Structure 1
């Protein structure tokens, strides 16, 4: 009996770990749609990352701004690849909620993006983004 309980406990840990790894990979894939789409000026790839009602909030020249993320990025036009380096600095997951910290480095500045994601209908989607533009 004791061996059976130990086996069930071990199986539970294994399944939980695999689910977390799978969700981690899916969140990573979602934010990579955003990063790759932006780098390659490919709105179709970028929009795979966002929920249709996702918001983007930031401090602009005139203060606080809030816009629909997909409307903001819809102005992306096909063109040469962006001269930038991207990095996923951190991903945190708790159940069906996650956040990711991204760094997008251009020659003279770096965007620090904080993406909030939810697992909606089995797919991870960015529901909000805030960012900071750090001058180098």
Structure 2
């Protein structure tokens, strides 16, 4: 008798709980995963290879870059920066070391920031990258940087 009551009680609950939510879950990537993809496959790879086409996919057309390199102020448009990367000997071809890592990513709605460390040539850059999701894709809208000596 007790078992019958317990079974009847369990069947009285609606079946639209967790199982229903799992069925309706989206399989799309999280914003952080999408941003990691932009950083690793377009930004880092573009810098390493000197591949301006990859960098153009990472940056919003009107993006700006600011900072300092060894105390010297740095200010460029994304177009100027990408052109400069294309005109230099890439870290890949230089034979010098290249290490790039994502230190953090923070996302709130359609904006995000990423803190990066890029070691190349004789530089130890810290980059603070701002992203905005524009027309369905994450793009770099600003970059600040500085070179830190060990």
* TM-score of the two chains, using structure 2 as the length reference: 0.73
Counterpart Cα distance in 2 of 1:22 and 1:43: 26
Report the count of equivalent residues.
Answer: 132
| Structure 2 counterpart of 1:26 | 34
Native 8 Å contact 2:67 2:74 kept in 1: yes
Aligned match of 2:147 = 133
Q: In structure 1, what is the equivalent of residue 77 of structure 2?
A: 68
- Tell me by how many angstroms 1:3 deviates: 4.0
Task: Flag as ranges the 4+ runs of structure 1 deviating above 2 A.
Answer: 1-8, 59-66, 77-80, 106-109
Q: Which is greater in Rg?
A: 2
Unaligned runs of 5+ in 1: none
Cα 1:27–1:65, aligned 2, differ >3 Å: closer, same or farther?
same
- Please report the TM-score for the alignment, with normalisation by the length of structure 1: 0.79
| 1:94 and 2:94 aligned | no
Compared CA separation, residues 67 and 106, structure 1 to 2 (3 A): closer
